[in-house]
Amino acid sequence: MRGSVAIQPDDVRIIRALQVAPRASFASMAAALDLTESTVRRRYRRLHADGVIRVIGVVNPGALGQSRWLVRLRCRPGSVAAIAGALAKRDDVNWVALVAAGSEVTCATQSRDEAQREELLGRRLPRTAAVLDINAFAMLRQFMGGRGHYWAALHGALSPRQETMLGSDGPPFTESPVVTDDPVHLTGEDEKILDALAADGRASLVGLATAAGSTPGRVSRRLHTLLLQRVVHIDVEIAPAALGYHARANLWLRVHPSEVKNVGRSLAGEPEIAFVAAISGPFNIHAVAHCRDFDELFAFTSDRIGRLPGLQSMEVSPVLRHVKQAGTLVSGDRLVGPPAQAAARGIECSDNSRQR
Protein backbone atom coordinates (compact mmCIF):
# COMPACT_ATOMS: atom_id res chain seq x y z
CA MET A 1 0.00 0.00 0.00
CA ARG A 2 1.25 3.41 -0.92
CA GLY A 3 2.83 5.26 2.00
CA SER A 4 1.99 2.60 4.59
CA VAL A 5 4.21 0.31 6.63
CA ALA A 6 5.04 -3.07 5.15
CA ILE A 7 2.83 -5.98 6.14
CA GLN A 8 4.80 -8.43 8.27
CA PRO A 9 4.14 -12.16 8.80
CA ASP A 10 2.79 -11.48 12.30
CA ASP A 11 0.37 -8.95 10.80
CA VAL A 12 -1.00 -11.62 8.45
CA ARG A 13 -1.42 -14.00 11.39
CA ILE A 14 -3.30 -11.34 13.35
CA ILE A 15 -5.58 -10.68 10.36
CA ARG A 16 -6.28 -14.40 10.07
CA ALA A 17 -6.98 -14.61 13.81
CA LEU A 18 -9.53 -11.83 13.42
CA GLN A 19 -11.14 -13.66 10.50
CA VAL A 20 -11.59 -16.73 12.67
CA ALA A 21 -12.80 -14.84 15.77
CA PRO A 22 -13.37 -11.13 15.04
CA ARG A 23 -14.34 -10.23 18.62
CA ALA A 24 -11.65 -12.27 20.36
CA SER A 25 -9.79 -10.34 23.03
CA PHE A 26 -6.21 -9.25 22.45
CA ALA A 27 -5.19 -11.59 25.27
CA SER A 28 -6.85 -14.57 23.55
CA MET A 29 -5.21 -13.76 20.24
CA ALA A 30 -1.84 -13.31 21.92
CA ALA A 31 -2.10 -16.73 23.59
CA ALA A 32 -3.04 -18.45 20.32
CA LEU A 33 -0.34 -16.68 18.29
CA ASP A 34 2.40 -16.94 20.92
CA LEU A 35 2.83 -13.17 20.98
CA THR A 36 2.54 -10.66 23.78
CA GLU A 37 -0.78 -8.92 24.28
CA SER A 38 0.86 -5.52 23.82
CA THR A 39 2.31 -6.65 20.47
CA VAL A 40 -1.08 -7.82 19.19
CA ARG A 41 -2.76 -4.63 20.37
CA ARG A 42 -0.10 -2.39 18.83
CA ARG A 43 -0.07 -4.19 15.48
CA TYR A 44 -3.89 -4.26 15.30
CA ARG A 45 -4.09 -0.53 15.95
CA ARG A 46 -1.49 0.15 13.28
CA LEU A 47 -3.28 -2.03 10.72
CA HIS A 48 -6.52 -0.20 11.52
CA ALA A 49 -4.91 3.25 11.37
CA ASP A 50 -3.25 2.42 8.04
CA GLY A 51 -6.56 1.38 6.50
CA VAL A 52 -5.55 -2.27 6.07
CA ILE A 53 -8.37 -3.78 8.14
CA ARG A 54 -11.65 -2.76 9.71
CA VAL A 55 -13.93 -4.93 11.85
CA ILE A 56 -17.62 -4.12 11.49
CA GLY A 57 -21.02 -5.65 12.09
CA VAL A 58 -22.93 -6.26 8.85
CA VAL A 59 -26.70 -6.80 8.93
CA ASN A 60 -28.13 -9.58 6.78
CA PRO A 61 -31.41 -8.29 5.30
CA GLY A 62 -32.31 -11.86 4.30
CA ALA A 63 -32.78 -12.72 7.98
CA LEU A 64 -35.29 -9.87 8.14
CA GLY A 65 -37.23 -11.23 5.16
CA GLN A 66 -35.77 -8.88 2.53
CA SER A 67 -34.06 -9.84 -0.71
CA ARG A 68 -30.66 -8.56 -1.84
CA TRP A 69 -29.92 -7.21 -5.30
CA LEU A 70 -26.90 -6.59 -7.51
CA VAL A 71 -27.21 -3.56 -9.75
CA ARG A 72 -25.27 -2.53 -12.86
CA LEU A 73 -25.60 1.11 -13.90
CA ARG A 74 -24.39 2.32 -17.29
CA CYS A 75 -23.71 6.05 -16.93
CA ARG A 76 -22.91 9.12 -19.00
CA PRO A 77 -19.17 9.88 -19.33
CA GLY A 78 -17.93 12.03 -16.48
CA SER A 79 -20.82 11.19 -14.16
CA VAL A 80 -19.79 7.86 -12.65
CA ALA A 81 -17.72 9.28 -9.79
CA ALA A 82 -20.59 11.45 -8.56
CA ILE A 83 -23.11 8.62 -8.81
CA ALA A 84 -20.80 6.10 -7.13
CA GLY A 85 -20.01 8.56 -4.34
CA ALA A 86 -23.69 9.30 -3.74
CA LEU A 87 -24.57 5.60 -3.66
CA ALA A 88 -21.74 4.92 -1.19
CA LYS A 89 -23.33 7.36 1.27
CA ARG A 90 -26.49 5.29 1.50
CA ASP A 91 -26.83 2.80 4.33
CA ASP A 92 -28.84 0.44 2.08
CA VAL A 93 -25.94 0.11 -0.40
CA ASN A 94 -23.03 -1.88 0.96
CA TRP A 95 -20.75 -2.38 -2.06
CA VAL A 96 -19.90 0.09 -4.83
CA ALA A 97 -17.29 -0.20 -7.59
CA LEU A 98 -16.35 1.53 -10.83
CA VAL A 99 -15.82 -0.87 -13.73
CA ALA A 100 -15.91 -1.05 -17.56
CA ALA A 101 -13.39 1.71 -18.27
CA GLY A 102 -15.21 4.12 -16.00
CA SER A 103 -18.62 3.95 -17.68
CA GLU A 104 -20.31 1.50 -15.30
CA VAL A 105 -21.09 1.46 -11.60
CA THR A 106 -21.80 -1.86 -9.91
CA CYS A 107 -23.39 -1.90 -6.48
CA ALA A 108 -25.12 -4.26 -4.06
CA THR A 109 -28.20 -3.28 -2.08
CA GLN A 110 -29.16 -4.43 1.40
CA SER A 111 -32.50 -2.69 1.90
CA ARG A 112 -34.15 -3.34 5.25
CA ASP A 113 -37.70 -3.09 3.82
CA GLU A 114 -39.51 -3.02 0.48
CA ALA A 115 -40.16 0.71 0.63
CA GLN A 116 -36.45 1.47 0.96
CA ARG A 117 -35.60 -0.79 -1.99
CA GLU A 118 -38.37 0.62 -4.18
CA GLU A 119 -37.28 4.17 -3.38
CA LEU A 120 -33.78 3.43 -4.69
CA LEU A 121 -34.39 1.02 -7.58
CA GLY A 122 -37.87 2.08 -8.63
CA ARG A 123 -37.74 5.85 -8.27
CA ARG A 124 -34.43 7.45 -7.35
CA LEU A 125 -32.03 5.85 -9.83
CA PRO A 126 -34.36 5.81 -12.86
CA ARG A 127 -34.88 9.57 -12.43
CA THR A 128 -31.16 10.32 -12.35
CA ALA A 129 -30.41 11.83 -15.74
CA ALA A 130 -26.83 10.55 -15.90
CA VAL A 131 -27.96 6.92 -15.57
CA LEU A 132 -28.42 5.54 -19.08
CA ASP A 133 -29.34 1.97 -18.21
CA ILE A 134 -30.15 -0.08 -15.09
CA ASN A 135 -29.94 -3.85 -14.72
CA ALA A 136 -30.88 -5.32 -11.34
CA PHE A 137 -30.40 -8.98 -10.40
CA ALA A 138 -31.86 -10.68 -7.35
CA MET A 139 -29.53 -12.89 -5.33
CA LEU A 140 -31.03 -16.39 -5.21
CA ARG A 141 -28.46 -18.49 -3.36
CA GLN A 142 -25.22 -17.50 -1.66
CA PHE A 143 -22.36 -20.00 -1.90
CA MET A 144 -19.68 -17.88 -0.27
CA GLY A 145 -19.39 -14.50 1.40
CA GLY A 146 -20.57 -12.69 4.48
CA ARG A 147 -17.49 -13.32 6.58
CA GLY A 148 -13.87 -12.74 5.54
CA HIS A 149 -13.05 -15.94 7.45
CA TYR A 150 -14.15 -17.83 4.36
CA TRP A 151 -11.89 -16.08 1.87
CA ALA A 152 -9.41 -18.91 1.40
CA ALA A 153 -6.45 -16.68 0.54
CA LEU A 154 -5.29 -16.68 4.17
CA HIS A 155 -5.90 -20.34 4.90
CA GLY A 156 -2.73 -21.84 6.35
CA ALA A 157 -1.56 -18.63 8.04
CA LEU A 158 -2.46 -20.31 11.34
CA SER A 159 -2.29 -23.95 12.35
CA PRO A 160 -5.51 -25.88 13.04
CA ARG A 161 -4.58 -25.87 16.75
CA GLN A 162 -4.26 -22.09 16.78
CA GLU A 163 -7.63 -21.64 15.06
CA THR A 164 -9.24 -24.02 17.55
CA MET A 165 -7.77 -22.01 20.44
CA LEU A 166 -9.39 -18.86 19.08
CA GLY A 167 -12.85 -20.37 18.89
CA SER A 168 -15.36 -18.62 16.62
CA ASP A 169 -17.83 -15.73 16.66
CA GLY A 170 -21.15 -17.00 15.41
CA PRO A 171 -22.10 -20.09 13.41
CA PRO A 172 -20.03 -21.13 10.38
CA PHE A 173 -21.20 -20.02 6.97
CA THR A 174 -23.31 -22.58 5.16
CA GLU A 175 -24.80 -22.42 1.68
CA SER A 176 -28.35 -21.25 2.11
CA PRO A 177 -31.26 -19.39 0.54
CA VAL A 178 -30.74 -15.63 0.62
CA VAL A 179 -34.11 -14.88 2.26
CA THR A 180 -35.27 -16.81 5.33
CA ASP A 181 -38.77 -18.28 5.60
CA ASP A 182 -39.07 -17.07 9.20
CA PRO A 183 -37.94 -13.42 9.34
CA VAL A 184 -36.64 -11.94 12.58
CA HIS A 185 -38.36 -8.86 14.01
CA LEU A 186 -35.90 -6.44 15.59
CA THR A 187 -36.53 -4.45 18.73
CA GLY A 188 -35.38 -0.88 19.34
CA GLU A 189 -32.61 -2.26 21.54
CA ASP A 190 -31.51 -4.59 18.73
CA GLU A 191 -31.29 -1.66 16.32
CA LYS A 192 -29.04 0.27 18.71
CA ILE A 193 -26.76 -2.74 19.15
CA LEU A 194 -26.52 -3.19 15.38
CA ASP A 195 -25.77 0.51 14.84
CA ALA A 196 -22.94 0.33 17.38
CA LEU A 197 -21.50 -2.80 15.74
CA ALA A 198 -21.67 -1.15 12.32
CA ALA A 199 -19.29 1.50 13.64
CA ASP A 200 -17.02 -0.96 15.48
CA GLY A 201 -17.47 -4.71 15.31
CA ARG A 202 -15.12 -5.12 18.27
CA ALA A 203 -17.00 -2.72 20.54
CA SER A 204 -16.97 -4.00 24.12
CA LEU A 205 -20.10 -5.30 25.81
CA VAL A 206 -19.96 -2.27 28.09
CA GLY A 207 -19.82 0.00 25.03
CA LEU A 208 -22.69 -1.85 23.36
CA ALA A 209 -24.73 -1.70 26.56
CA THR A 210 -24.17 2.04 26.83
CA ALA A 211 -25.26 2.53 23.21
CA ALA A 212 -28.36 0.38 23.72
CA GLY A 213 -29.28 1.75 27.16
CA SER A 214 -29.04 -1.75 28.57
CA THR A 215 -26.72 -3.93 30.65
CA PRO A 216 -23.65 -5.88 29.46
CA GLY A 217 -25.23 -9.19 30.43
CA ARG A 218 -28.42 -8.54 28.52
CA VAL A 219 -26.52 -7.24 25.49
CA SER A 220 -24.27 -10.32 25.53
CA ARG A 221 -27.27 -12.64 25.41
CA ARG A 222 -29.00 -10.63 22.71
CA LEU A 223 -25.87 -10.41 20.56
CA HIS A 224 -25.42 -14.17 20.84
CA THR A 225 -28.99 -14.66 19.60
CA LEU A 226 -28.59 -12.20 16.72
CA LEU A 227 -25.44 -14.03 15.60
CA LEU A 228 -27.14 -17.44 15.78
CA GLN A 229 -30.11 -16.13 13.80
CA ARG A 230 -27.65 -14.71 11.22
CA VAL A 231 -29.17 -11.27 11.57
CA VAL A 232 -25.65 -9.88 11.81
CA HIS A 233 -22.16 -11.18 11.22
CA ILE A 234 -18.91 -9.61 12.38
CA ASP A 235 -16.93 -9.03 9.23
CA VAL A 236 -13.21 -8.34 8.86
CA GLU A 237 -12.83 -6.00 5.93
CA ILE A 238 -9.36 -6.19 4.34
CA ALA A 239 -7.71 -3.90 1.81
CA PRO A 240 -6.66 -6.60 -0.70
CA ALA A 241 -3.74 -4.54 -2.05
CA ALA A 242 -2.12 -4.69 1.39
CA LEU A 243 -1.78 -8.44 0.95
CA GLY A 244 -0.54 -8.15 -2.63
CA TYR A 245 -3.87 -8.57 -4.48
CA HIS A 246 -3.93 -5.72 -7.01
CA ALA A 247 -6.27 -7.14 -9.68
CA ARG A 248 -9.94 -7.35 -8.79
CA ALA A 249 -12.78 -8.33 -11.09
CA ASN A 250 -16.49 -9.00 -11.20
CA LEU A 251 -17.21 -12.31 -12.90
CA TRP A 252 -20.57 -12.81 -14.59
CA LEU A 253 -21.11 -16.44 -15.58
CA ARG A 254 -23.78 -18.05 -17.72
CA VAL A 255 -24.03 -21.69 -16.62
CA HIS A 256 -26.35 -24.50 -17.65
CA PRO A 257 -29.17 -24.57 -15.06
CA SER A 258 -28.36 -28.14 -14.03
CA GLU A 259 -24.80 -27.12 -13.11
CA VAL A 260 -25.41 -23.84 -11.24
CA LYS A 261 -25.08 -25.41 -7.78
CA ASN A 262 -21.96 -27.37 -8.70
CA VAL A 263 -20.24 -24.36 -10.26
CA GLY A 264 -21.16 -22.15 -7.32
CA ARG A 265 -19.76 -24.66 -4.84
CA SER A 266 -16.60 -25.14 -6.92
CA LEU A 267 -15.94 -21.40 -7.06
CA ALA A 268 -16.48 -21.10 -3.31
CA GLY A 269 -13.45 -23.35 -2.78
CA GLU A 270 -11.11 -21.29 -4.95
CA PRO A 271 -8.64 -19.07 -2.99
CA GLU A 272 -9.06 -16.22 -5.49
CA ILE A 273 -12.82 -15.98 -4.92
CA ALA A 274 -14.11 -13.68 -2.18
CA PHE A 275 -17.83 -13.91 -2.97
CA VAL A 276 -20.08 -16.05 -5.17
CA ALA A 277 -23.85 -16.27 -5.52
CA ALA A 278 -26.53 -17.49 -7.90
CA ILE A 279 -28.53 -14.60 -9.33
CA SER A 280 -31.47 -13.89 -11.62
CA GLY A 281 -31.04 -12.57 -15.14
CA PRO A 282 -29.04 -13.59 -18.24
CA PHE A 283 -25.98 -14.39 -16.10
CA ASN A 284 -26.94 -16.84 -13.37
CA ILE A 285 -23.76 -16.72 -11.25
CA HIS A 286 -21.90 -13.67 -10.00
CA ALA A 287 -18.48 -13.86 -8.30
CA VAL A 288 -15.79 -11.47 -7.12
CA ALA A 289 -12.16 -12.46 -7.72
CA HIS A 290 -8.98 -11.07 -6.15
CA CYS A 291 -5.71 -11.85 -7.95
CA ARG A 292 -2.18 -10.51 -7.61
CA ASP A 293 -2.10 -9.12 -11.15
CA PHE A 294 -3.96 -9.36 -14.46
CA ASP A 295 -1.76 -12.21 -15.67
CA GLU A 296 -2.88 -14.28 -12.67
CA LEU A 297 -6.49 -13.20 -13.30
CA PHE A 298 -6.22 -14.36 -16.92
CA ALA A 299 -4.76 -17.73 -15.93
CA PHE A 300 -7.39 -18.22 -13.21
CA THR A 301 -10.37 -17.41 -15.43
CA SER A 302 -9.17 -19.26 -18.52
CA ASP A 303 -7.44 -22.32 -17.07
CA ARG A 304 -9.63 -23.07 -14.04
CA ILE A 305 -13.00 -21.36 -14.35
CA GLY A 306 -13.05 -21.93 -18.11
CA ARG A 307 -12.92 -25.69 -17.58
CA LEU A 308 -15.87 -25.91 -15.18
CA PRO A 309 -18.59 -28.27 -16.49
CA GLY A 310 -21.69 -26.44 -17.65
CA LEU A 311 -20.02 -23.06 -18.21
CA GLN A 312 -21.48 -21.49 -21.34
CA SER A 313 -19.99 -17.98 -21.26
CA MET A 314 -18.27 -15.56 -18.90
CA GLU A 315 -17.76 -11.81 -18.68
CA VAL A 316 -14.67 -10.63 -16.79
CA SER A 317 -15.17 -7.03 -15.66
CA PRO A 318 -12.04 -5.60 -13.94
CA VAL A 319 -12.71 -3.23 -11.05
CA LEU A 320 -11.11 0.14 -11.70
CA ARG A 321 -11.83 1.50 -8.24
CA HIS A 322 -13.61 0.33 -5.14
CA VAL A 323 -15.67 3.05 -3.50
CA LYS A 324 -17.29 0.98 -0.76
CA GLN A 325 -17.07 -2.59 0.43
CA ALA A 326 -19.33 -4.16 3.06
CA GLY A 327 -20.30 -0.78 4.45
CA THR A 328 -16.74 0.56 4.58
CA LEU A 329 -15.64 3.45 2.37
CA VAL A 330 -12.47 2.96 0.33
CA SER A 331 -10.00 5.65 -0.72
CA GLY A 332 -7.36 4.41 -3.14
CA ASP A 333 -6.09 1.21 -1.52
CA ARG A 334 -7.15 2.14 2.00
CA LEU A 335 -10.24 1.50 4.09
CA VAL A 336 -11.36 4.82 5.54
CA GLY A 337 -14.42 3.91 7.59
CA PRO A 338 -18.21 4.19 7.32
CA PRO A 339 -19.89 7.16 5.59
CA ALA A 340 -21.11 10.03 7.75
CA GLN A 341 -24.45 9.18 9.32
CA ALA A 342 -25.91 12.52 8.28
CA ALA A 343 -25.55 11.59 4.62
CA ALA A 344 -26.41 7.93 4.98
CA ARG A 345 -29.80 7.94 3.26
CA GLY A 346 -29.44 10.26 0.28
CA ILE A 347 -28.34 10.06 -3.32
CA GLU A 348 -27.66 13.65 -4.22
CA CYS A 349 -26.25 13.34 -7.73
CA SER A 350 -29.45 14.17 -9.61
CA ASP A 351 -29.06 17.94 -9.90
CA ASN A 352 -25.41 17.79 -11.01
CA SER A 353 -26.26 15.03 -13.46
CA ARG A 354 -28.95 17.13 -15.11
CA GLN A 355 -26.48 19.95 -15.59
CA ARG A 356 -24.46 17.63 -17.78
pLDDT digits (tens, 9 = 90+) for 44-56: 999 999 999 999 9
Q: Please tell me the predicted confidence (pLDDT) of residue 152.
A: 61
Q: Please tell me the predicted confidence (pLDDT) of residue 153.
A: 66
Q: Please tell me the predicted confidence (pLDDT) of residue 338.
A: 73
Q: Please tell me the predicted confidence (pLDDT) of residue 110.
A: 84
Which residues of the chain carry a pLDDT beneath 70?
Answer: 1-5, 145-153, 169-174, 176, 339-356
pLDDT in tens, 77-87: 889 989 999 99
Q: Please tell me the predicted confidence (pLDDT) of residue 352.
A: 36
Q: Please tell me the predicted confidence (pLDDT) of residue 349.
A: 36
Q: Please tell me the predicted confidence (pLDDT) of residue 339.
A: 64
Q: Please tell me the predicted confidence (pLDDT) of residue 172.
A: 62
Q: Please tell me the predicted confidence (pLDDT) of residue 16.
A: 92
Q: Which of 107, 68, 58, 56 is nearest to 349 (CA)?
A: 107
Backbone angles phi, psi at 250, to 5 degrees: -85, 130
Q: Please tell me the predicted confidence (pLDDT) of residue 346.
A: 38
Q: Please tell me the predicted confidence (pLDDT) of residue 347.
A: 39
Q: Please tell me the predicted confidence (pLDDT) of residue 150.
A: 54
